[in-house]
Chains A and B, each alone.
Chain A
Amino acid sequence: MPVLDIKNLILWYRTRKGPVHAVDDISFALEPGQTIALVGESGSGKTSTANAILRLLPKNVLRYEGKVVFDGQDVMEFDTEEFRKVVRWRGISMVFQGAMNSLNPTIRVGGQVAEPLMVHYDVDRDEAADQAIEALGKVGLSADTARRFPFELSGGMKQRVVIAMALILKPKVVILDEPTSALDVMTQTNIINLLKELKNTEHLSYIFITHDLGLASELADLVGIVYAGQLVEVGPAEGVFVKPKHPYTGKLLASVPRLRSEAAPDFIPGAPPDLTDPPPGCRFHLRCPVSFEKCGWSAPEFIEQVRLLQILEETKNTVPAIEAMTAKGAQNLLIKPVANGTVAEFAQRLTSFIAQNQETYRFLKSVESVQAKTKVVEVKLYESTPPPLLGGDWRASCWLLAGAGS
């Protein structure tokens, strides 16, 4: 039985621009003693996922749904007080991003580590202090560290203190939110080794949030690739890292510089999508090198891409002259040609341009038909839905895997 089973977790924020789909239908399960690495770009929703699990919500929450089954109980049903008592720190604890800022500068380290104890159990000061020293010992810090203030410690020591704080209530699951992001490589390795050791001695399950694929491969049993608030691929680490199924995972792995390789690291063109208005279909299709008919191009996106072609050096002379383009619904658009020749001729030219260029500019593949009307050409695009997350233990959401026809 999984210690943590997350089903269809949704966390949307309300902003002035509209709802931000920070966590949009994320599901994964974590067996006891397992580590899942959530990997993704900045702003992809990794930390929001962690916050959603621990119910650390800001004020502007719009939607917060789904099931978080911890130890057989759906903790989403708990009220705030019950959640605080059962889940927070006793069941699931967290190591925050940037340990240097996670410590109260006015409390001594010992007191800080003992804080969760004193908040949750009615322990007296001396006993709490003893337990804090014990916890500090587990993370490799000496007892006299307890009497120091956070500013007297180095970055690595602070990180160890934060880990000690996360372990003091003996939780089953620890969320590690970029635990090493501000540390130098030597200290990173130390911390990762410490985490590995603790995992075995304390029987912990980790949710390891990082953007560093190298670190993820060190620690993870499972890997979840997060893109635009969704899991696009989740599976065993040895599989995902060696032979990724999703094109995004592939591009991500290719972007890691390698020590003894002539090839320059690859990059992904474009920027992560705006989560207030996520793209339809597969959210990665705009940047995907292998996108095709089914991936979900919409008329406004199509228009934007055509405008790009009109100014690109390679294509600006070959694109048929267009006077105006208007989207008509999500899948249809009307193109008004510049008045030289008939509409039918223009449709001809457009079709042949599409046929010639669709391997280079893959959005052109989404054109289902080109029809000449009286004054305009109507272009119809393929309809699409988001690709399902398919597969057994190793799932990915990509139409390439689902099969073109289904």
Chain B
Amino acid sequence: MLLQQLINGISVGGIYALLATGYALIYSLLGFSNWAHGEVAMLGAYIGILSVTALQMPFIFAVILAVVGAGFISVFNEKIAYKRIRDNNSPTMFLMIAAMGLSTTFQNLAIVVFGPKFKMYPQILPVGAVKIGSLSVGLLDLVSLGIAIVAIIGLEYLITKTKFGLAVKAASSNMGTASLLGINVDKYIMLVFFLAGTLAGISGILYGMKYTVYPQLGNVALKAFIASVFGGLGSVQGAIVGAMSIGLLETLVSAYIHSGLRDLITFILLIAILLVRPTGLMGKDIQDKA
């Protein structure tokens, strides 16, 4: 029973991690909390579900459309709001306020366009559980975990092993100098928004399949935010660890204490970490000595 709950928790954690890593990437680059990130996941979930139900598309095409669509919505946010604010040299606070505005706009737009009702993804995977010995684990949870792991490994590779990753790290450290040395910073910011958007899209679909799709689905980004703070703001590895921890914590609290206390305990964790260790678990603060 416990092992089963743990797998369940990691699976939920994987969904959070997909959101939290993108959120952390944007934070590390631009130093603001992108509150519209959850709405990108929500819109991705809607694109997916409507492609399958209304347009009768094969599931795999619907997923691709949703993931790429979410990437473009994320880039749209950057182009229409954040880039302009940066170009005006406005304070970082303006970015966060713009993100809140986008978040509210998308949520209400979804209510108007898609309706306030909860929508169910049609049954794609056979319902049921996989039996491993005495364990029985939901098939969807396993698949979801697998997809999250593959996506996160891909992201890690991109950041630590490629020229793209080096450019993003340099830009997040010092944009002016990165640009002096040949990095087209605006291009890389756009690519990061696209990448973060696609991860959010995957997250939105998985979340929608596990639960339902509804206009406030984006609020799940709050969990990703807590995961990111818990792991260390701006750190991608930290976001993964944080997301897994929160997934586990929530599942265990629901299973063994009371499901009503789930969010309460998560938020207590947020307050505790801010008080005790504000840099988070893996937040590295490399201060300039000179």
A and B: bona fide binding partners:
no
| Chain A contact residues, CB within 8 Å of chain B | none
